[in-house]
Chain A
Amino acid sequence: MSESNVIDEHINSGYDAGFITDIEMQTFDPGLDENVIRKISAKKNEPEFMLQWRLDAYQQWLKMERPDWAHVKYPEIDFNSIAYYSSPKSQEDAPKSLDEVDPELLRTYEKLGIPLHEQATLAGVAVDMVFDSVSIITTFKEKLAESGVIFCSLSEAVIEHPELIKKYLGSVVPINDNFYSALNCAVFSDGSFVYIPKGVKCPMELSTYFRINEMNTGQFERTLIIADEGSYVSYLEGCTAPSRDENQLHGAVVELVALKGAQIKYSTVQNWYPGDVNGKGGIYNFVTKRGVCHTDAKISWTQVETGSAITWKYPSVILLGDNSVGEFYSVALARNAQQADTGTKMIHLGRNTRSTIISKGISAGKGSNTYRGLVNMSPKAEGARNFTQCDSLLIGDQCAAHTFPYIVSKNPSAIVEHEATTSKVSEDQLFLCQQRGIDPEKAVSMIVNGFCKSVFKELPMEFAVEAGKLLEVSLEGSVG
């Protein structure tokens, strides 16, 4: 089989998570105005401060312009054709335990490979399930509470922990940060909230699984993680959606706060529906993720992006405190007609701050993959260091790979190093594998996995395997 045939076969494979859950939903009519925002807020029984915050964001959003600088193309979005709230009817009274959750919903998660019963879950992983606009259930809450860790839906946190919300929500990504984050501030529905108390090492992995199910809805979730002084948490999010012909908007905001000496490890396996071979359907994934590191703190972003029709996200770290560390490890795959414009911003403000960026972009089919990053050494970033490595792998002659790194240095003692390369799966590599008896399908996925290895090793163990598999599934039909 010739190389191009092998690759064609790989990139035309299916999407496993594309089924639809048939369940009675309660969905707002499409459209966006102040009333809709009031209704969302009322649904969640939010305190007045939250409603005012949303309305303020809405007013600011109305004055903002849609950003057009990313290397992606898509038709104008009609924000009045989207429904901003959708939740399963059965969630009207928030279930207190798994036994009260609609079995159809549980089946959905089982089908996605996420068993929810605590005894059946991966050892040591607590999961928050977000289905369209609401959090279904959060597991291991009690166990976590024993060590003082708060892990719950954001809606719950607004009511139960208003002091933390008031202090930190919007503190890292301000309301008017950008067009999509402002929209999120106005209409965000649910998401996860994590607080790790001083000196606590979170006893298990925390995880949120996002599922979009309903048609014509947008998912605007919001995650806030606060790691108090000297604490540690590893958090992972996963996401999928049904295969539909319409594009759906996902506009999330994630804020991380790592206080003095704290460490947050945030991993994402993003597998939103990517659309079909011709680019029909798929999720528009327009996401703002940012963390702030205080003195001696560390934030590490790891992402495996295989889904979405369009990805527009730049998980960033503001290195505010001295000696703080920011890391960004990314694998982004763009196949079929997918477009990804992703990267990071490392803003070095403190002395001796360190950042590492490893980005692996894979373009196949008619996919277009862009790394866009900023490394900024401010005048006060005495002794700061950055190392960036961006590698692109091209598979097939119709794809595209771009690298746009912005480097700004205003401090002579700061050192920035950036390297980028572009390569393809070479015929020689393929031939060596074949000459050792390995068939071309397996060889390609082996080589691609090898290319991504330095990122996969940053994922929590269970998910590293999953990510590798996801990539294989995305690249080829079957894996031996």
Chain B
Amino acid sequence: MNRCLTVLSTGPLTTVQDAGRPGQGALGIGRSGACDRAAAALANRLVGNDPDAAVLEATLGGLALRAGADLLVATTGARCPGSPAHNAPHRLAAGAELRLGLPATGLRTYLAVRGGIAVEPVLGSRATDLLSGLGPPALSAGDVLPVGEATGPLPGVDLAPVPDPAGGEVTVRLLPGPRADWFAEDAAAVLTGTGWTVTGESNRIGLRLDGPPLERVRTGELASEGMVRGALQVPPSGLPVLFLADAPVTGGYPVIGYVDDADVDRCGQLCPGQTVRFRGAG
């Protein structure tokens, strides 16, 4: 028996993700990793893996797999019809198939397998970074993914009671960014007073938001500076980009604010057409 998973179909995009490549920003290497870190860690815990083990991140469902051996799997994040194992461990028998349908809410579904996805790591991580091109390529039908040996003990958990990602309007906490003073006085009020629409040009790098353009009062060029996920960067269009897992290490447009890191996972579950609101802290 081969401890592997054969990819039958990938949906719009499925990548391998883990906790990414932290601590290498000085080399121009972004962190990357799962867009919804908590969901990926939960999937791992449900099958007794280290929380940072490599999982599959499916975007809008569509992922189909066949088990090459008896494997223990779990899905978390966006709940897809067809997953027998959402927020719960499930034994996938050798030869059995798992097919994720379209989630009703949420964008990204994580599939963990006991032992972890054991593709070759690159610079300490198996994560696919779509911006820098580091890590394994996005999955294709026909790929055979090696599965590692189980190490940790199995948890005695049947079901993790976590809520599904929300549809419709989502509110997240907004914290100060380094360049708020580059914007008009009312920009902060516009930012927090608007329901911003997530556009279809969004991806793992960031959410492109549509709404009233934020007015800059300082013109001129900003020297590129470091940033992390959650940054709300405002390009010349005035429409903010909310950076996610594959954010660039540095950016040359002013960052007006940051989404609280604890809320960025939820932003990684927003679908095009959904609305995000920013609530100032205090």
Chains A and B form a bound pair:
no
